Amino acid sequence: MEDEVVLMARSSSAAAVVRMNSSGEGKMSYANNSDFQRVIASVTRKARRDMAAALYRARGRAASLVIADLGCGTGPNALLMASDAVEAVLAENNKGAKDARAPQLHVFLNDLPTNDFNAVFRLLPSSLLVGTGCLVSAWPSSFHGRVFPEASLDYVVSSSSLHFLSKAPSMATEHLNRGRVYVSEASPAAVLDAYRGQFHADFLAFLCCRAAETRPRGLLLLTFVARRAARPTAHDCYLWDLLADALMDMATAGLVDEEQVHSFNAPYYGPCPDDLARVIAKEGSFAVRTMKLFDTTRRRLRPASRPANNKHDDDGDDDELPRWLAVQTAGTVRAVVEPMMRTHFGWAAIDGLFCRYRLLLEAYYRSKTTRNKDDITNVFLVLEKKH
């Protein structure tokens, strides 16, 4: 759940490293707005645990195993993926001989150098990893490049990270994506091509590096935002479209420079299965074990209680749900994108931007055609390193 993304700032020729909201942001921090990412991880938990146990068996109950989390981030989810794998391996070990010695487990936590690894390590005393003999270390670097030693990894996880690009895509024509900040259903084909091209380059670099770092028959278990069709639908893009609408509203009101809106493109891409298959085949080091699309909704996070005067159990009849979804969605998106928006638009724009954004989200969730439709498509991709 990568805490940082790299954005090419349009006001400068230099690459600017932009992080998600840190713990110092309090209510608006990523740590306090990452429950939805935990829901996404929970969907794949059983499969990940089963594969960790199976890998341990396939390794002949090896004396040691190396587990890496790429884009671990900070906050309550930072140790989640590694802890699931450790728990599964130790449970499998306990099924063996009574005097079987537990394997030495190495947990490598990766994120960009400006990630707050001290905050992550402060979570260790209350985590499953304490008392299991795990050796936990931080490996600060971008996962779009080499991070770990040659042939050192057995089991690699990454959740809610790989949809972030190493940089915003370069457009062949200046301001080709006017009034939008990402691919839109109505975008020119050249915009989609630019985003697809940047994702292909980044994902290819990612796989090349992991191919060098992973042992034969090792596993990559990757979960990130995706889409089902080759051409993005309106719902695939609505979070970014509504953010662009909020920015254009502010430009109309003279609160931000309209040219700044036209020149901003988010370093983000949700690929379709064909995008993934093409890059995996081109790199050639991995066999696809699983490629499964699934939809998640933050409605799973909503408290079970309803207002006393609400007699309806169906979400479609719950008048408060659109407002609740808007508040929750705006909080999650703000925690992720606020720093990059500050870099491009300045501090003064942020509160007004997300106030407008929340209202646009609520209108979307109240619309007849998109009533309470907050589902996000993710892909669960499991790759096995070939011999």
Is residue 371 one of the residues assigned to a domain?
A: no
Check which CATH number belongs to the domain holding 197 and give it: 3.40.50.150
Is residue 52 one of the residues assigned to a domain?
A: yes
pLDDT digits (tens, 9 = 90+) for 309-333: 444 444 555 889 999 999 999 999 9
Helix (H, G, I), strand (E, B) or coil at 287: strand
Is residue 258 one of the residues assigned to a domain?
A: no
As for how many domains the chain has, the answer is 1
Is residue 21 one of the residues assigned to a domain?
A: yes
Structural domain span for residue 186 = 4-231+266-313+376-385
CA distances from 285 to 25, 71, 200, 224, 292 (A): 41, 22, 16, 21, 20
Is residue 254 one of the residues assigned to a domain?
A: no
Indicate the residue type of 54. Answer: A
Mean pLDDT by 10 residues, the chain (387 residues): 45 42 60 81 97 97 96 91 96 84 95 90 91 92 97 97 94 80 94 96 98 98 97 97 97 94 94 98 98 95 61 61 96 88 85 96 97 96 96
pLDDT for the residue 343: 84
d(CA 218, CA 153) in angstroms, rounded, equals 7
Give the predicted TM-score (pTM) of the model.
0.90
Is residue 323 one of the residues assigned to a domain?
A: no
Q: What is the 3-state secondary structure (H, E, C) of 166-205?
A: CCCCCCCCCCCCCCCCCCCCCCCHHHHHHHHHHHHHHHHH
**What are the tokens at 348?**
């003064």
Is residue 302 one of the residues assigned to a domain?
A: yes
Is residue 191 one of the residues assigned to a domain?
A: yes
